[in-house]
Amino acid sequence: MADSGRQTERAEKAVRHWRSLAELADAPEYRAFLEAEFPREADPGGISRRRWLQLMGASLTLASVGGGCRWEQEEILPMVRRPAHRVPGEPQRFATAMDLRGAALGLLVTSVDGRPIKIEGNPDHPQSRGATDALAQASILQLYDPDRSGKLVQGTAEGESVQTWDKFVEFASGHFGPLRKDGGRAFRVLAETTSSPTLAAMRSRLLEAFPEAKWYEYEPLSRDNERAGTKLAFGKVYRPHYHLDRAKVIVAIDEDLFCDHPAGVQYARAFADGRTVVNGQMNRLYAIECCYTPTGAAADHRLPLRAQDIAVFVAALEREITGGSGSAHGKDGESDVGRFVVALAKDLKARRGETVVAVGPRQPAEVHAAAHRINAALGNIGNGVVYFPEPDADRMPHRQAIAALASEMNAGKVETLLVLGGNPVYNAPADLDFAAALGKVRTTVHLGLYRDETALLADWHLPQAHFLESWGDARSWDGTYSIVQPLIAPLLGGKPAIELLALVLGDEKSSGMELVRATFQRIAGAQNAQTPWRETVHDGLLQGSGWSPEKPAIQGAAPQADRAASLSELVWKQGPLEIVFCGDSSVYDGRFANNAWLQETPDPITKLTWDNAAWISPATAAALGVENETMVRLKLDGRELVMPAYILPGQAAGSVAVGLGYGRSAAGFVGGDARRNIQSIGFDTYRLRPLQAQEFATGLAIEPTGEKYRLATTQDHHAIDTVGLKARAARVGALVRSASLEHYQEHPEFARHAVHHPPLISLFDEPEYPGRRWGMSIDVSKCIGCNACVVACQAENNVPVVGKERVLEGREMHWIRIDRYFVGEPDRAQVDHQVMICQHCENAPCEQVCPVAATVHSSEGLNDMVYNRCVGTRYCSNNCPYKVRRFNFFNYHKNLDRPGGALTKMVYNPDVTVRSRGVMEKCTYCVQRIQEVKIRAKNQRREIRDGEIKTACQQACPSQAIVFGDLSDKSSRVARDHAADRSYGVLAELNTKPRTAYLAKIRNPNPELEDAHHVDDHPAG
């Protein structure tokens, strides 16, 4: 009861900002005014029993007379004074930035009638260039999450009490003021890592005010090893940054450059640009990794190695490069890994100065240092690899910070702990027992987006404002300074961290904007005094504020110890396993656990939704007697966790990877909430993660429990039998057409000859399209399978989320499916990604069979879906060879009636119909965006420019794999793509005449490694 009451209240709060800020503040004057103006409104609970019966009687009568047949009435009033530049219904776009992984991604947020509905990348931002990743796309849903914290809660001995900010201000002045006396000796702050200069400024101010206090930063997924590596190599902390556009050979060592790097969006773009064959040249990517990542899938050569073996590999590579040819002697050179090292080294040396060797944050500092030495030896520094001075070089590493804080807390040295964001109770190392340590702190104040695990143990929980509703600033990976501007007043009354710090410091002026502005003045002043504030807010970034690279020199030589290890011993046979802790592609470190869009986004490689699993390679699983979807007991250092196994081809043998961020007990309605008896999604792998092995650990024991668990994958929902496997292997080549660069140069039109078929004749007269002919092309060479398009489409087109059970039943609703095919022998499988959406066939099989003509062709060749007309026979879906049609088996928008639904439904795009139950839906080529541009062009009496219409998927795509446009304009990019030699239509032999063309995948394998791999010749695993 209490919960539902709270929710209703929250929902009411959610709509408040629409009326006035005074109401939001719940000012007493406003209450009085309200009482006078709307007596009932002021006291909703004051209905007498008699009045209630009267009302019930009357409504029953009305219902029986026919009142029940009416739609709910709603009054819409125009604004008396329209704010400047606001045209009702006309979308506006505002620049802002999202700070994640300690770096900013510049965004451009679309706002309709005052509510932000869609996130795009800021085209001017060097990291984004208009693209985004899946997490940024989904963050808009987080803004409207009704489970987000909207109340200040004070936990006292008597229980919880809901407080106001005024009360907290009162408390803060009474509490933090006296702390200054002893310099804040027992005052600690635990913050998340951000790139915000304002927050850094606030930190210095706080440490000035409380000189004895300490400021700790903790992130469960940190790049501290990278920092330590530069320190080791150069004697100073630097931030490596890669110019993949300048690189001909890229080596990603346990590093997901595209999907798990703060500059991933930029890297994906630069990499994809290099995939285009220019003058017979394209870049080559090697990936050496333990878990399958999108980077590994994009690689021309991928070597699965245990995380612990990578150090040996890198040492061998370094020897091979620095020691001249033939260094990997004897037996080592014969092994698969040895040959890989030799070939890779040769390739790198041949491309001196045009290569990048990148090592991932999971690897220890020594490996990073080795990579820096390799880069230096290859002359990459200053070309493909640049180094920026790290802005916060003196910061204590996260692991040490959390350990130090925990020991101080246990020792009773901490009396006041201020947690700024973050959820250490959930994600701190398991052996620290942070929750118990927190019990020894007298006063804990927690600021968070959610009332999460940490908040529940805190004495004060304060709601944090979402980045879309607060002022702030951030720097991108290369230092570009962005201003985070709010798109909407805080919906739930939260405050950003900088404002809270101002409050703790007792500032008179604590508005976020002023704080940011002060920082801006300082930064812009140093940069360029002329740059006005408004312009920067408008552009979303301060041009030229990126750091200038330095050219550090290597200090010291490679350590000798590594030489002992042999490459041929790197093959796991039997014995103890390794466990690798990975950030999750959907929930990151757990902070997005309550984001239903992300939960339902299939992992790029496993296609798993709504769960995490222990990834085990087929060979390892066979050796351990583990089958897919069996529950296994993982034992590490006396800690145990039972979770399902997922057999992942291409996972390094002997290595078990587990995703972090699941098994939340206080995430919310979606991710799990013990207080409301909502089961957690997935399994909490933090419980296994020790302080000393935050990245990976050896000595893992696994035993199958014999129980089965159902994992909701969107592909291969069940084990595929031999018949199916053979057929799949036979088909993949025709669906995802690919060739090596060499083959492509000999046979540029190979993709067109992959499938031969008799002449295609249509039964019906084929319509002509004298005007525009919309079409799309998808470059398979560029697609990295990162899911940005999937979430972008979901946000743009109001695609519902269906939940784990429905995914298991095969009823996911995504309009874009990224098909993933494993090719090659299971333990070394290669991954091919293929974006599959409605192909808008000119001769569409779906149109012919619809009995009510609910799916028809437009005059511009779009395969339109008329929702109003659809009765739901589902025949179109059966007859769609691409199976891209999605059916509303249930009313997926029913939850909008729940408390909080009023908030959730603000996320909907008003230009797109929300589909009802029983209706078929599918990709429309973002027809609403086409219409918007058409109208604009018509009003301006001009033609539509090529590239002016961007579909949501195209706009979000970091690698620019998707192109949309008018096929009748022969000079348009899409028409050129359709005419390109690599262009082919999937299943075009059915005479569907698809309007979506695929550009065949070109791989650039190293000829010397081809024999060792045979990836293209083997049947699928």
State the residues that interact with another protein by CB under 8 A: 715-718, 720-721, 723-724, 727-728, 730-732, 735, 764, 806, 809-811, 817, 819-821, 834, 836, 845, 847-853, 869-875, 877-879, 881-883, 885-891, 916-920, 986-987, 990
Q: Which is nearer to another protein, 318 or 812 (CB)?
A: 812
What is the nearest approach in angstroms of another protein to the Cβ of residue 669?
Answer: 20
Q: Which is nearer to another protein, 326 or 759 (CB)?
A: 759
934: exposed, middle or buried (Cβ count in 10 Å: 0-12, 13-18, 19+): middle
CA distance 353 to 618: 38
Q: Which is nearer to another protein, 115 or 995 (CB)?
A: 995
Please give the full DSSP string across 751-803, using - where no structure is assigned: GGGSS--PPP--SSPPP--SS--EEEEEETTT----SHHHHHHHHHTTPPP--
Three-class SS state of 715: coil
What is the nearest approach in angstroms of another protein to the Cβ of residue 752?
Answer: 18
What is the nearest approach in angstroms of another protein to the Cβ of residue 867?
Answer: 10
What is the nearest approach in angstroms of another protein to the Cβ of residue 297?
Answer: 15
Please give the full DSSP string across 196-254, using - where no structure is assigned: -HHHHHHHHHHHHHSTT-EEEE--SS--HHHHHHHHHHHSS-EEEEE-GGG-SEEEEES
Q: Which is nearer to another protein, 92 or 879 (CB)?
A: 879
What is the nearest approach in angstroms of another protein to the Cβ of residue 392?
Answer: 44
Q: Which is nearer to another protein, 631 or 990 (CB)?
A: 990
Please, which residues have CB within 8 angstroms of residue 386's CB and are 6 or more apart in sequence?
A: 240, 241, 242, 243, 549
Query: How far is C-alpha 148 from the geometric centre of its chain's CA atoms?
Result: 19
What is the nearest approach in angstroms of another protein to the Cβ of residue 821?
Answer: 7
Query: How far is C-alpha 101 from the geometric centre of its chain's CA atoms?
Result: 11
Is residue 124 within 8 Å of residue 877, measured between CB atoms?
Answer: no
Three-class SS state of 837: coil
Please report, for residues 349, 818, 846, 919, the alpha-carbon distance to residue 876 in angstroms, rounded to integers and kept in the order given. Answer: 55, 21, 4, 11
Q: Which is nearer to another protein, 163 or 891 (CB)?
A: 891
Is residue 971 within 8 Å of residue 751, measured between CB atoms?
Answer: no
CA distance 380 to 246: 10
> Residue 882's closest CA among 800, 781, 974, 778?
778
Tokens found for residue 90: 């006309």
Place of tokens 């007596």: 39
What is the nearest approach in angstroms of another protein to the Cβ of residue 878?
Answer: 5
What is the nearest approach in angstroms of another protein to the Cβ of residue 758?
Answer: 10
What is the nearest approach in angstroms of another protein to the Cβ of residue 762?
Answer: 12
What is the nearest approach in angstroms of another protein to the Cβ of residue 838?
Answer: 13
Query: How far is C-alpha 18 from the geometric centre of its chain's CA atoms?
Result: 30
Q: Which is nearer to another protein, 260 or 819 (CB)?
A: 819
Three-class SS state of 8: helix
Please, which residues have CB within 8 angstroms of residue 1019's CB and are 6 or more apart in sequence?
A: 725, 726, 729, 730
Helix (H) or strand (E) holding 846, with range, is: helix 845-849
What is the nearest approach in angstroms of another protein to the Cβ of residue 908?
Answer: 21
Angle at 1015 (CA atoms; ends 1009, 1017), nearest 5 degrees: 115
- The DSSP secondary-structure symbol of 401 reads H
Please report, for residues 93, 110, 465, the alpha-carbon distance to residue 113 in angstroms, rounded to integers and kept in the order given. Answer: 11, 10, 21
Q: Which is nearer to another protein, 162 or 853 (CB)?
A: 853
Q: Which is nearer to another protein, 472 or 994 (CB)?
A: 994
Helix (H) or strand (E) holding 726, with range, is: helix 722-735
Please report, for residues 84, 298, 348, 999, the alpha-carbon distance to residue 301 in angstroms, rounded to integers and kept in the order given. Answer: 56, 9, 14, 21
Q: Which is nearer to another protein, 850 or 1012 (CB)?
A: 850
Beta bridge partners of 641: 634
Q: Which is nearer to another protein, 22 or 990 (CB)?
A: 990
Q: Which is nearer to another protein, 297 or 501 (CB)?
A: 297
Q: Which is nearer to another protein, 602 or 661 (CB)?
A: 602
> How are the residues of the chain apportioned to helix, strand and coil, as percentages rounded to the nearest 5?
35, 20, 45
Q: CA end-to-end span of the chain, whole Å? A: 52
Q: Which is nearer to another protein, 525 or 724 (CB)?
A: 724
Q: Which is nearer to another protein, 250 or 876 (CB)?
A: 876
Tokens found for residue 989: 């032999």
Q: Which is nearer to another protein, 33 or 875 (CB)?
A: 875
Is residue 963 within 8 Å of residue 954, measured between CB atoms?
Answer: yes
What is the nearest approach in angstroms of another protein to the Cβ of residue 726?
Answer: 9
CA distance 1006 to 741: 10
What is the nearest approach in angstroms of another protein to the Cβ of residue 646?
Answer: 17
Is residue 122 within 8 Å of residue 95, measured between CB atoms?
Answer: yes
Please, which residues have CB within 8 angstroms of residue 899's CB and are 6 or more apart in sequence?
A: 4, 7, 8, 10, 11, 146
CA distance 5 to 11: 10
CA distance 218 to 398: 5
What is the nearest approach in angstroms of another protein to the Cβ of residue 629?
Answer: 14
Q: Which is nearer to another protein, 265 or 711 (CB)?
A: 711
What is the nearest approach in angstroms of another protein to the Cβ of residue 817?
Answer: 7
What is the nearest approach in angstroms of another protein to the Cβ of residue 757?
Answer: 9
